[in-house]
Amino acid sequence: MKLRVDDISAEERRLNFAEPESEMNHALSVGPLQEYRILRPVEVRIAHYRAGTEVFLHGSVRAELVAACARCAEEFTTHRGRGFRYVLAPAALDDHQDDKDEIEYTVYQGDEIDLTPMVREQMLLALAERPLCREDCRGLCARCGVNLNEHACGCRTEAGDPRLAVLRSLSVKRPVAH
Ligand SMILES: [Zn+2]
Ligand SMILES: [Zn+2]
């Protein structure tokens, strides 16, 4: 989605649109966020206005996703989103290089502002947390691999670690064999 700078006025205006998810899914599939896949176009709400040559944007992104739980590996459907603010200056006049603020300063070239890179950046930032199918997901048993949300496997209630028990029985048998 692109905005023409001439169409941005001093009066705040709102714009809602859907940004296609395919490029973002490609970025997810080759990056460190492979446990997420976006299911449909990202919903974007933006308000924009202009003061001289500076353009002010604020809004939100939101998407429906399939995620693989970081503890039990089960896939589940979820929503992720976040709010954002940008201030954009024409590239030639950019004097905000040193600003460190919640507001992101960026630049635009020519008479158009391409919103797509901002939407993609914000959507990836919205996926910073590891996905959990639920807050108290019990994950997989480290010994037998059972999904502990669905079954109790009994490993936890046994006295001692079964792997150590096997080692103990081996070390007892070895002197006998020689
Ligand atoms: Zn889980
Ligand atoms: Zn188990």
At 1-41, the pLDDT tens digits run: 999 999 999 999 999 999 999 999 999 999 888 999 999 99
Instruction: State how far Cα 109 lies from the chain centre.
Output: 28
Q: Which ligand is nearest to the CA of 75?
A: 1
Mean pLDDT of 31-58: 95
In this predicted structure, what is the pLDDT of residue 176? 47
Q: pLDDT by residue (tens digit) across 83-114?
A: 999 999 988 765 655 555 556 788 888 899 99
Q: Are strands 54-68 and 112-114 parallel, antiparallel or unpaired?
A: unpaired
In this predicted structure, what is the pLDDT of residue 104? 79
Q: pLDDT by residue (tens digit) across 113-164?
A: 999 999 999 999 999 889 999 999 999 999 999 999 999 998 855 555 555 5
**pTM across the whole model:** 0.76
Q: Which ligand is nearest to the CA of 146?
A: 2
Contacts of 175 (CB under 8 A, 6+ apart): none
CA 55 to ligand 1 center in whole angstroms: 43
In this predicted structure, what is the pLDDT of residue 167? 54
CA 66 to ligand 2 center in whole angstroms: 27
Query: 24 to each of 81, 93, 129, 130, how far by Cα in Å?
Result: 14, 30, 17, 17
Mean pLDDT of 40-66: 96
